[in-house]
Structure 1
Amino acid sequence: MKPSVSSLYQAVELQQEIPPLLIGERANSNGSKKFRELLLEDDYQACLKIALDQEPKGAHIIDLCTAYAGRDELKDLTTLVQMCAKSLKAPLMIDSTTPECIEACLKLYPGRAIINSINLEDGGINIRRVCKAAKKYGAAVVALTIDENGMAMTADEKVAIAKAIHDIAVDECGLRPSDILFDCLTFTVGSGDEKLRDAAIQTIDGIRRIKEELPGCLTVLGLSNISFGLPPKARRVLNSVFLHEAVNGGLDAAIVDAAKIIPLARISEEDKLVCLDLLYDRNRDEEKNPLMRLIDYFSDKADSDDDDSTTETLFPEEQLFKQLVNGDKDGLEDLLSILRERHAPLEIINQILVPAMRHVGELFGKGEILLPFVLQSAEVMKASVTRLEPFMEKNDVSNATRVLLATVQGDVHDIGKNLVDIILSNNGYKVYNIGIKVPVETIIQKAIEYDVDVIGLSGLLVKSAIAMQESMSQYRDAGLDIPILLGGAALTPKFVAESCAPNYPGPVVYCADAFAGLKAVREHEEGSLVSTVYNDVTAIQALKPGIKDSSIDKTHPVPTAPFTGQKYVVDVDPEKLFPYINKQALFRGRWGYRRGKMSAEEYQQLIETKAQPIYEELQHRTLAEKLISPKVTYGYFPCYSEGNSLFVEADNTLHHFSFPRQAEAPHLCIADYFKTREEGGDIAGFFLVTIGDRMGLETAKLYQDNAYHDYLMLHGFSVEITDALAEYWHAIMRKDLGIGQGEIPSRGLTCQDYQGSRYAFGYPSCPDLDVHKPLFDFLKPEAIGVSLTENMQMVPEQTTSAIVVHHPQAKYFAV
């Protein structure tokens, strides 16, 4: 197998079929002025763009260096390594001489990286530590020919140091020869220093001999050092010619700006000749040496070729519009500074940013842009407004439509509400987001205090929908008549139209998502907003007695549980949960990567290039940063059914669970799957699982930092990994009961391919969260950090509970 390195997306062979391997050098705080300045401004996104820009210009690997006096290298490097890991197809070269930084980055990086670099400057202390880390994490290493005496100047010195490094790295630390890329170092031939006249010769000879005398080892070179001090035009040509000569000598890889390398066939014979004379120190005469001839020769051809220069062809107004639509924050501050000389800040917002954000919304509505990219655009909008605010008059935003948002009392879920906040606030509206678990009295008080134009209420579960219904008369009695927008998974247009709107004098509007909320606010501004009219066939059903289903077989045997009572498990291995994650639900439902108008091939490419890499990065981060702490409380309990009820015996107490029945055929009810007392009774399993509160804290921080895209990704991942924990523990319990082997469920449209079911409390087949009262009595989840709100919802949010039904006919259904 050929020696390779890899990113999340691809493997790259270190020995290219047509050498050399090109390693991009511009994301380097010591080598690129632009990168350094962006790093000093903490503009990590712009730093990432410099790394990204090198890929289409031919770089196979991206060198990343953040070492700079006064900076926290560990923070800078780990931050950018994580960003590069999920964005770059090209593998990374982690450029640091600090073992702590190197090890921290190797833990985070999901591919096979190259470490740059090791040497013998300290006699071999650091090299052993770094090589052991490289062995542990499977990395390759760049080895510089440096020892206690300094940098090797001659080919003999370069080879001797390379052999000493080889002995430590291979014989002592266990690396393979192909894991080492020796950098023979080159010095400039452009300084006029007599000691460096043969620098290129010694370097090329060192490369050739290392390849011969250390079989299997590879070579690399920081190419541009050869031309340091020369004019840009001369440097570009000299670097290109030197690269060709070094490759002929056996060079495998070059650290270089790939965009500045000229194919040898495009270099004139005259240009080549003058460069070769300097590199090989030949054709010296009394009047001019090779260096002076090269400088004179290129003086007439010299042009400005600054690595950090850019040319902008769009007007600044067009550029800002384009950057917002593309979700690109690069150079935003400079662009806004230019625009402030032409426009007042409010004009920039209203005439450029808001129309651009509106265009993003139109693209989303047409299915031409997906939610993750909408959030990237919103980040540009937020960053722009933040930079403009210091230059705005206080009354500039006083006329903006004011919207109050809240998650209703007892409900801890805020992802939907926060997405509405992001979309509205970045479309020019003033949003008061007053949080979760907000009582009706507080909502009324704040609505009056802030003199808002619209109220938006959110809630995930059926209990929250009922709370919205019951609160309508309170808003009416408080004298409010402004529009109220309602959103949440349990709501339907029918429920809002028939159960909520009649009890309130103003418009009551069902909003399926954040953009429906945006549409409703705009309609209010236009004076065309009206209450939702029912045009759906679904509705929230009350807990009706219904007709008992007589088709459930009660002759099946009751399995034997391994124990009765309750137990805790607090050492679940997080890595075991990943196979149970429903990636289809995560990518399409939580993250919004839907096919829309794309072909199957285009959608598959989107998943492979966008969703899957983020998913893999979050898997890696979850383990590396210990973001989840899976804990379980569960048990098996004697029980019997009676009508729509299940009676469960635990701790010498009989606990009552009441379940709803379908109003329409086949009139299913969870209680039907258990035997009655007369039929001999039954056994029921219950569990409650949580991944802890760390994920919730991390998502809250991302939201506060206006990192909207990453907020959506991490929140969605946290919800699905919680469900994966539930699915994993359900598999354990099926195995306990002898009705399964701990199998991983399929995740297609017919996802249930095993005996029995788990019914989560708060969801369609058992929506009444009051059952959490008896559940908490005998599962005692407080010991694993879970508590109940006054509305019977569990905290932390990333927690779920369920009853485990063993009956062979038990399938998922909704009431």
Structure 2
Amino acid sequence: MKPSVASLYQAVELQQEIPPLLIGERANANGSKKFRELLLADDYQACVKVALEQEARGAHVIDLCTAYAGRDELADLTTLVRLCAGALKAPLMIDSTTPACIKACLRLYPGRAIVNSINLEDGGVNIRRICRAAKKYGAAVVALTIDEKGMAMTAAEKVRIARAIHAIAVDEYGLRSRDLLFDCLTFTVGSGDANLRDAAVQTLEAIRRIKAELPGCLTVLGVSNISFGLAPQARRILNSVFLHEAVAAGLDAAIVDAAKIVPLARIPAEDREVCLDLLYNRQGEEVKDPLLRFIAHFSDKAATPAEDGQEGDSKPEEQLFQMVMDGDKEQLEDVLAILRQRFRPIDIINQILVPAMRHVGELFGKGEILLPFVLQSAEVMKASVTLLEPFMDKAEGTAATTVLLATVQGDVHDIGKNLVDIILSNNGYLVHNIGIKVPAETIIEKAREVRADLIGLSGLLVKSAIIMQESMAQYREAGLTVPILLGGAALTPKFVAESCVPQYDAPVVYCADAFAGLKAVQEFEAGTLTATVYDGATAVKAMKPGIRVAEIDRTNPVPVPPFLGQRYVEDIDPAVLFSLINVEALFRGRWGYRRGKMGAGEYADLIEGTVRPLYEELQRKALAGGWIQPRVSYGYFPCRAEGDAVIVQADGAEHRFSFPRQAEAPFLCIADYFKTAGEGGDIAGFFVVTIGPKMSEETARLYQADAYHEYLLLHGFSVEVTDALAEYWHGVMRREMGIGGTQTQNALGAVTQNYQGSRYGFGYPACPDLEAHKPLFAFLKPEAIGITLTENMQMVPEQTTSAIVAHHPQAKYFAV
């Protein structure tokens, strides 16, 4: 395997097929005045921009150094490493001589970094501390040829020190030879110092010898050191020629400003010869002093566009494309203003923005971009269109494929639908998102009004799927002939193919996620869209009502509840819920930060360095903003099992809860966990919990503000906080019934339940029928804490959940 380093997004081979590996040098407080001034102004985002500019100009790796007098290097470096980790595709070189800073940065960087640097200046104290950290975190290391005597001047001294460093790093601390990049530290040939006339020769010879005498080790060089003291335009040419010579000698990596390297073929032959004379200290009858000849030769040459950096800048259309790819909105208005001088706004959208967004979608499909970053790209797309709209003719853009989106009648869940809206809108389609709880009659009316080319329907729960099925005939009878796309957690390809497709005359298509919806629209445009077909075989065993196959203990004692009837609770501290959040479900499921092609260590670094800080920041914002307002209505009620039903006595009346039974072994049903009247009856607990409406209001605000990434994060967070509240209150009820138990989490946040009994949420797999909310609301009366029911029996606010609590020791979560 070739030696490589990696960022959060990609791996980069240290030995490039066409060498060298280019390491950007401008994000350095000691080497770049611009970067230093931004750092001193605490403008971290602008500092990251400097790194991004180097990446855009061809740097494979970015050197990051914040060491500067009067600054807190640890705070600066860790802050910028965290920001760069999320913004840069190029891996980082962490440039510090302080072991504590290096270790802190390696701990939080979600990739494989290079450490710059180690040496023997202090006799080997720091090198051992840094090598220990590099071994622990798997970093590569730059090794400088320095010992107690200082920087090695001759090739022999450089090689001797390299051997000593290799012995410590490889033999003592277990690094591999390929983990070491030796920097032979060239001196300037532009000072006039007679002792430095052969500085380039000694460095090139040291590179050759290290490559030959330390097999597997790599070499790196700060190329611009060779030209210190010379005129800027002359430096650029000399640096470029020296880099070419160093690569020929075996150089693997170069720390340079990639934008200021000129290809050798573009350097006139006379200029090259003057540079080579200086580098190799070639003297003779015609050239008695190579340095004086060099200075004289370049003194009358004006800087060309290629030399002053103007030509090295990417074109504005390339900049905009890359800004979409990077999710970077900084300077967006300026770039668009330049482009508007050359292109019509509609052409900017269709020729630059849409292709960029579609490329993002392709990368997502390959697993090379995660959903949160797709949404950041979509934000750039949306902001661009908003900035261009005032300059567009009204007739422009009207030919786009039109899609009508709606969440079906009675369903209050909109995250899936809104993600489809984001993806389609930012791929150039005209989307009419008409909201939640939309009846079929409104969908038909709006489809005609906007002349929709396709209709997309969304719904979360089983009842919503049934509504989709029942409405197909209504759409057919209304004369609609456009394709209908169906999505939602309760849907399956089999259900859509067998229950929906036959009832409608145009294609009905199952879409597993937002990108499946995008693919369907693209197939529609291509004329290849077809109805979903299910060719799987599912054997379903017929069951007789009331049958019990699983062996359920009927002798368990019935606990004594602290009271019978219903109570309200409104004084819960929101902070206590955070320890109960299923962090793994949040990060991977709700937010989309999945491991995919990443290694275990790389994924762990992503979670700790990027995702967990986002999570902790949301916790702080939620508490400070008062977004979480926990309220509970709950109670304990006498009950008895009758077949597959539980009959509950409350307020002098009986309320029947009918539960489905599994069609296959072990044929479980919730009613199995409660005693019959003949067994003496039982006690059932019930609750409805909510975190209130403020979280929904905040997510709606973010969506309307086109803050798609934040919207996704906050919505997923709100769902898991709601579930944490349900788990918290379940714990309260277990304690009140005297059955106790705990919930534990592993290192990544996966939850394991260690307690007696279980809670079964209405609308979820063990009891999917939301009609149970009618009797539940009759005796828990949650309207008093702000909870209402839709006509489809879903609860409002969305961040609300309900459950029946079974105390039986064998009661565990299952699906029917």
Task: Give yes or no for TM over 0.5.
Answer: yes
CA distance in structure 2 between the partners assigned to 1:492 and 1:555 by the alignment: 40
1:432 alignment partner AA? H
* Aligned match of 2:193: none
2:560 alignment partner AA? T
- The alpha-carbon distance between structure 1 residues 783 and 543, as it changes in their structure 2 partners (threshold 3 A), is farther
Deviation sequence 1:267-308 (CA, Å, 0-9, x none)? 98xxxxxxxxxxxxxxxxxxxxxxxxxxxxxxx9xx9xxxxx
What secondary structure is seen at the aligned counterpart in 1 of 2:752?
coil
> Which residues of 2 match residues 785-804 of structure 1 at below 5 A?
785-804=786-805
How far apart are 1:322 and its partner, in Å? 1.1
Give the percent of matched residue pairs that are identical in Structure 1 and Structure 2: 67
How far apart are 1:752 and its partner, in Å? 3.4
What secondary structure is seen at the aligned counterpart in 2 of 1:533?
coil
* Aligned match of 2:314: 314
CA distance in structure 1 between the partners assigned to 2:636 and 2:81 by the alignment: 44
* Aligned match of 2:779: 778
- The alpha-carbon distance between structure 1 residues 627 and 677, as it changes in their structure 2 partners (threshold 3 A), is same
CA distance in structure 2 between the partners assigned to 1:407 and 1:537 by the alignment: 30
Deviation sequence 1:561-610 (CA, Å, 0-9, x none)? 11111111101111111111001110111000111111112211211222
- The alpha-carbon distance between structure 1 residues 626 and 748, as it changes in their structure 2 partners (threshold 3 A), is closer
> Which residues of 2 match residues 233-248 of structure 1 at below 5 A?
none
Q: Name the TM-score, length of structure 2 as normaliser.
A: 0.64
Q: Is the 8 A contact 2:690 2:799 kept in 1?
A: yes
Which aligned segments of 4 or more residues in structure 1 are displaced greater than 4 angstroms? 22-28, 44-57, 60-64, 83-90, 263-268, 309-312, 535-544, 741-750
> Which residues of 2 match residues 488-567 of structure 1 at below 5 A?
488-536=488-536, 545=545, 547-567=547-567
* Aligned match of 1:751: 752
CA distance in structure 1 between the partners assigned to 2:627 and 2:50 by the alignment: 30
What secondary structure is seen at the aligned counterpart in 2 of 1:446?
helix
- The alpha-carbon distance between structure 1 residues 324 and 88, as it changes in their structure 2 partners (threshold 3 A), is closer
- The alpha-carbon distance between structure 1 residues 493 and 738, as it changes in their structure 2 partners (threshold 3 A), is same
Unaligned runs of 5+ in 1: 1-17, 36-43, 65-82, 91-262, 269-299, 304-308
1:435 alignment partner AA? G
What secondary structure is seen at the aligned counterpart in 2 of 1:752?
strand
Q: Is the 8 A contact 2:744 2:752 kept in 1?
A: no
- The alpha-carbon distance between structure 1 residues 372 and 31, as it changes in their structure 2 partners (threshold 3 A), is closer
> Which residues of 2 match residues 271-420 of structure 1 at below 5 A?
313-420=313-420
State yes or no: 1:760 paired with 2:761.
Answer: yes
CA distance in structure 1 between the partners assigned to 2:663 and 2:743 by the alignment: 34
Deviation sequence 1:709-742 (CA, Å, 0-9, x none)? 0000000000001001111111111111111145
Unaligned runs of 5+ in 2: 1-28, 55-61, 72-78, 87-223, 230-299, 304-308
1:783 alignment partner AA? A
* Aligned match of 2:424: 424
CA distance in structure 1 between the partners assigned to 2:445 and 2:317 by the alignment: 41
- The alpha-carbon distance between structure 1 residues 62 and 571, as it changes in their structure 2 partners (threshold 3 A), is farther
- The alpha-carbon distance between structure 1 residues 89 and 572, as it changes in their structure 2 partners (threshold 3 A), is farther
State yes or no: 1:59 paired with 2:66.
Answer: yes
How far apart are 1:751 and its partner, in Å? 3.1
CA distance in structure 1 between the partners assigned to 2:556 and 2:380 by the alignment: 60
> Which residues of 2 match residues 78-97 of structure 1 at below 5 A?
87=83
Q: Is the 8 A contact 1:509 1:531 kept in 2?
A: yes
What secondary structure is seen at the aligned counterpart in 2 of 1:351?
helix
What secondary structure is seen at the aligned counterpart in 2 of 1:654?
strand
- The alpha-carbon distance between structure 1 residues 684 and 310, as it changes in their structure 2 partners (threshold 3 A), is farther
1:440 alignment partner AA? A
- The alpha-carbon distance between structure 1 residues 656 and 384, as it changes in their structure 2 partners (threshold 3 A), is same
What secondary structure is seen at the aligned counterpart in 2 of 1:636?
strand
> Which residues of 2 match residues 6-155 of structure 1 at below 5 A?
57-59=64-66, 87=83
How far apart are 1:49 and its partner, in Å? 5.3
Q: Is the 8 A contact 2:582 2:720 kept in 1?
A: yes
Deviation sequence 1:207-230 (CA, Å, 0-9, x none)? xxxxxxxxxxxxxxxxxxxxxxxx
CA distance in structure 2 between the partners assigned to 1:434 and 1:536 by the alignment: 35
Q: Is the 8 A contact 2:636 2:684 kept in 1?
A: yes
* Aligned match of 1:580: 580
What secondary structure is seen at the aligned counterpart in 2 of 1:474?
helix
- The alpha-carbon distance between structure 1 residues 617 and 748, as it changes in their structure 2 partners (threshold 3 A), is closer
- The alpha-carbon distance between structure 1 residues 31 and 85, as it changes in their structure 2 partners (threshold 3 A), is closer
> Which residues of 2 match residues 686-701 of structure 1 at below 5 A?
686-701=686-701
RMSD of aligned alpha carbons: 3.8
* Aligned match of 1:642: 642
* Aligned residue pair count: 565
State yes or no: 1:456 paired with 2:463.
Answer: no
What secondary structure is seen at the aligned counterpart in 2 of 1:603?
helix
1:424 alignment partner AA? L
CA distance in structure 1 between the partners assigned to 2:775 and 2:651 by the alignment: 11
1:511 alignment partner AA? C
State yes or no: 1:809 paired with 2:816.
Answer: no
Q: Is the 8 A contact 1:662 1:668 kept in 2?
A: yes
CA distance in structure 2 between the partners assigned to 1:784 and 1:539 by the alignment: 45
* Aligned match of 2:475: 475
What secondary structure is seen at the aligned counterpart in 2 of 1:762?
coil
Q: Is the 8 A contact 1:495 1:539 kept in 2?
A: no
> Which residues of 2 match residues 214-229 of structure 1 at below 5 A?
none
Q: Name the TM-score, length of structure 1 as normaliser.
A: 0.64
Q: Is the 8 A contact 2:541 2:664 kept in 1?
A: no
Q: Is the 8 A contact 1:410 1:437 kept in 2?
A: yes
2:620 alignment partner AA? H
How far apart are 1:85 and its partner, in Å? 13
Q: Is the 8 A contact 2:741 2:756 kept in 1?
A: no
CA distance in structure 1 between the partners assigned to 2:381 and 2:37 by the alignment: 28
1:506 alignment partner AA? A
How far apart are 1:548 and its partner, in Å? 2.6
How far apart are 1:88 and its partner, in Å? 7.9
CA distance in structure 2 between the partners assigned to 1:651 and 1:51 by the alignment: 68
Q: Is the 8 A contact 2:523 2:529 kept in 1?
A: yes
How far apart are 1:545 and its partner, in Å? 3.3
How far apart are 1:45 and its partner, in Å? 8.0
1:58 alignment partner AA? C
* Aligned match of 1:669: 669
How far apart are 1:323 and its partner, in Å? 1.1
How far apart are 1:342 and its partner, in Å? 1.8
CA distance in structure 1 between the partners assigned to 2:540 and 2:759 by the alignment: 21
CA distance in structure 2 between the partners assigned to 1:336 and 1:46 by the alignment: 20
Q: Is the 8 A contact 1:424 1:518 kept in 2?
A: yes
Q: Is the 8 A contact 1:745 1:753 kept in 2?
A: no
Deviation sequence 1:223-279 (CA, Å, 0-9, x none)? xxxxxxxxxxxxxxxxxxxxxxxxxxxxxxxxxxxxxxxx999998xxxxxxxxxxx
CA distance in structure 2 between the partners assigned to 1:561 and 1:311 by the alignment: 79
What secondary structure is seen at the aligned counterpart in 2 of 1:395?
coil
* Aligned match of 1:244: none
* Aligned match of 1:739: 739
CA distance in structure 1 between the partners assigned to 2:445 and 2:647 by the alignment: 43
